[in-house]
Structure 1
Amino acid sequence: MPFLTAIILAGFVGYGGAWYLGAMEGNFALLLFMATLVTGLYWLAERFIFLPRRRAAAQALQVQSDQRRAGLAAQGITQVDDGELSTARERVLAQPWWLDWTAGLFPVILVVFLLRSFVFEPFKIPSGSMIPTLLVGDLILVNKFTYGLKLPVINTRLTEGDAVQRGDVVVFRYPPQPSVDYIKRVVGLPGDEVAYLGKRLTINGQPVQTTAVSDFFDESTMEYFKQFDELLGVKNHRIMIDERRPGFVAGAFDFKYKDNCRYNVEGVVCKVPEGHYFVMGDNRDNSLDSRFWGFVPDRNLVGKAFFVWMNFGDLKRIGSFN
């Protein structure tokens, strides 16, 4: 067992190292599931096989000691040192290293797996596509049950949950590369016609209400940008516009249902297919979103982002957001 356990642990380390070095695409949900499964099997083996064996061995030591004490007592010797027995029992009952690193970790890994799969998942904002709502370095929580519970890894839906609303900030598996998580704001629901022309958003022929507010100072670029309050459904949030950039979409990918979109020099108009969503970043001129790579399938949704739990560079960022 020690040799087999060493091979298994080396496999996990190798997988993580190859993922970290970019030699392969990793899947953290799968890695966590496999870790839970493997450590769970070791935990069961420890509880029902290995621990009873060690206890039986310790009991055998006790029986031997009792027999020895009885023999010595028959010879009139009553003062017997039990120190060696206590040390031997401790050594026999102690978990070997290969169980410490498997069965011993199972409760912690199980809790992390359940919380991450069905309750909340942490996510770090890697880019500026959601400025001014979310900044680079924000550590956020994603609600995994709002849109219904899904089985991890295979993503089979268990419960229906609430319907996705316009204006929701969602984390989803990036359609061109599902191993990567993206975060954007839902702009179009199934059946909507979304137009983004001349940097103005229109849904089903109705312009989305925007109100100019004070300019946003982006510390990463040391520049000011136009900022607006946007009312998307019942969600009031802020967006940022770079007036120096053109409105047309340059370099759109080939994607499923691309025929639902019409591109021109002003921007794009798309009809959202059933079971899909049109998403955009709040940093409208610095966001790789549905304008470029298409629609987000419902099955790709991970959850609803709702809270910044930490930003080590600015503790004032902690709190909920729209």
Structure 2
Amino acid sequence: MATETKKGGGIVETIKTVVYALLIAGVFRTLFFQPFWIPSGSMKDTLLIGDFLFVNKMSYGYSYASCPSLYLPNFGIDIDARDICGWADGDNSRLFGSEPERGDVAVFRHPVTGRDFIKRVVGLPGDQVRMIGGVLHINGDPVELVPQPVFEETAAPQGPQRLRPRCANGPVGNGGTCVKERFLETLPDGTTHSILNIGNQGSDNTPVYTVPEGHYFMMGDNRDNSSDSRVPAVAGGVGFVPFENLIGKANRVMFSSAGSSMLYFWTWRGDRFFEKIE
């Protein structure tokens, strides 16, 4: 009997340990850092498909969007942040809120789908934003662009989704060299970062967007391969992003893998480990 009691007590203690660990992990993810994998090429060459980073949730304070979402369609799991913290949604405010700065690379919840996106903050509340001939204009002035050496990558499926890159020199056969123009872009406050250009398309010329109070204008650094604020959220883009939808700021790449699985160690990009995000 003593042995059975001991076994029963051991199982209970194991369950309690697992529950406590999950609670601690949940609190840690909700309050401090959220892991994020880069699934697409919209932020090249700042972020590559397969980069892994932690999003600092303390950067902008807390809102309903700070609660974790869990989307695993293969297992029928779709837990949304609103399912847990919907009571805090709706007033576009934050607890201990701190506004993002122009040039921040931020993770946020899509205003319509609720999925997590990562883009760069280029427009602040009250700004007038426009694209003319592929050049970003803020409050009527074009940003400074300095040509850089072209960005090259292999024309082949990338990441778990096996996405093929778009190329300025396309179409390019499998295994060929995919090229994009690269520029150093300087925003009005002096923030400098790299952007890519593939070719002329509709999103290179837009009307003037006036950013509403309490919202932000987000763009991908891979300008011709990014679904962002240039298109309204209801039309498949991102539109203006509410302050409460921000999750946190991305500061550093922790790990990176060029393969379809992080377990394929021969595809790891060791030169990107712990790389600072500019």
Answer yes or no: same fold by TM over 0.5: yes
Matched with 2:248 is 303
SS of residue paired to 1:285: helix
SS of residue paired to 1:267: coil
- Counterpart residue type for residue 102 of structure 2: R
Asked if residue 238 in structure 1 is aligned to residue 151 in structure 2, the reply is: no
**Matching residue within 287, 291, 295 for 2:226:** 287
- Give the structure with the higher percent helix: 1
In the alignment, the residues of structure 2 paired with residue 207 and residue 126 of structure 1 have an alpha-carbon distance, to the nearest angstrom, of 30
Alignment of 1:110-259 (within 5 A): 110-150=23-63, 152=67, 153-154=84-85, 156=88, 159-178=95-114, 180-220=115-155, 221=165, 222-232=177-187, 233-243=189-199, 245-246=200-201, 248-249=202-203
- Counterpart residue type for residue 108 of structure 1: A
User: Does the CA contact (< 8 Å) of 2:59 and 2:248 recur in 1?
Assistant: yes
Alignment of 1:24-63 (within 5 A): none
Matched with 1:30 is none
Q: Deviations over 1:268-309 (max 9, x none)?
A: 320001111110000000001011121111111111111111
Q: From the superposition, tell whether residues 212 and 302 of structure 1 become closer, same or farther in structure 2 (CA, over 3 Å).
A: same
Matched with 2:216 is 277
User: Does the CA contact (< 8 Å) of 1:167 and 1:234 recur in 2?
Assistant: no
Unaligned runs of 5+ in 2: 68-83, 156-164, 166-176, 233-238, 258-267
In the alignment, the residues of structure 1 paired with residue 94 and residue 128 of structure 2 have an alpha-carbon distance, to the nearest angstrom, of 30
In the alignment, the residues of structure 2 paired with residue 158 and residue 132 of structure 1 have an alpha-carbon distance, to the nearest angstrom, of 31
What TM-score results when the alignment is normalised by the length of structure 1? 0.63
User: Does the CA contact (< 8 Å) of 2:130 and 2:205 recur in 1?
Assistant: no
- Counterpart residue type for residue 183 of structure 1: I
Equivalent residues, number:
217
In the alignment, the residues of structure 1 paired with residue 131 and residue 46 of structure 2 have an alpha-carbon distance, to the nearest angstrom, of 20
Q: CA deviation at 1:89?
A: 2.3
Matched with 2:277 is 321
Q: Deviations over 1:7-62 (max 9, x none)?
A: xxxxxxxxxxxxxxxxxxxxxxxxxxxxxxxxxxxxxxxxxxxxxxxxxxxxxxxx
Q: CA deviation at 1:158?
A: 6.0
Larger relative contact order (C-alpha < 8 A, sep ≥ 6)? 2
Q: Deviations over 1:242-278 (max 9, x none)?
A: 12x32x23xxxxxxxxxxxxxxx83232000111111
Matched with 1:103 is 16
User: Does the CA contact (< 8 Å) of 1:129 and 1:288 recur in 2?
Assistant: yes
- Give the structure with the higher percent strand: 2
Unaligned runs of 5+ in 1: 1-87, 250-264
In the alignment, the residues of structure 2 paired with residue 166 and residue 92 of structure 1 have an alpha-carbon distance, to the nearest angstrom, of 61
- Counterpart residue type for residue 315 of structure 1: G
In the alignment, the residues of structure 2 paired with residue 267 and residue 150 of structure 1 have an alpha-carbon distance, to the nearest angstrom, of 32
Quote the sequence identity (%).
Answer: 39
In the alignment, the residues of structure 2 paired with residue 95 and residue 158 of structure 1 have an alpha-carbon distance, to the nearest angstrom, of 45
- Counterpart residue type for residue 203 of structure 1: I
Q: Which of structure 1's runs of 4+ aligned residues deviate more than 6 A?
A: none
Q: Deviations over 1:115-159 (max 9, x none)?
A: 110111110000000001000000011000110133633274663
User: Does the CA contact (< 8 Å) of 1:118 and 1:150 recur in 2?
Assistant: no
SS of residue paired to 1:115: helix
**Matching residue within 79, 89, 93 for 2:6:** 93
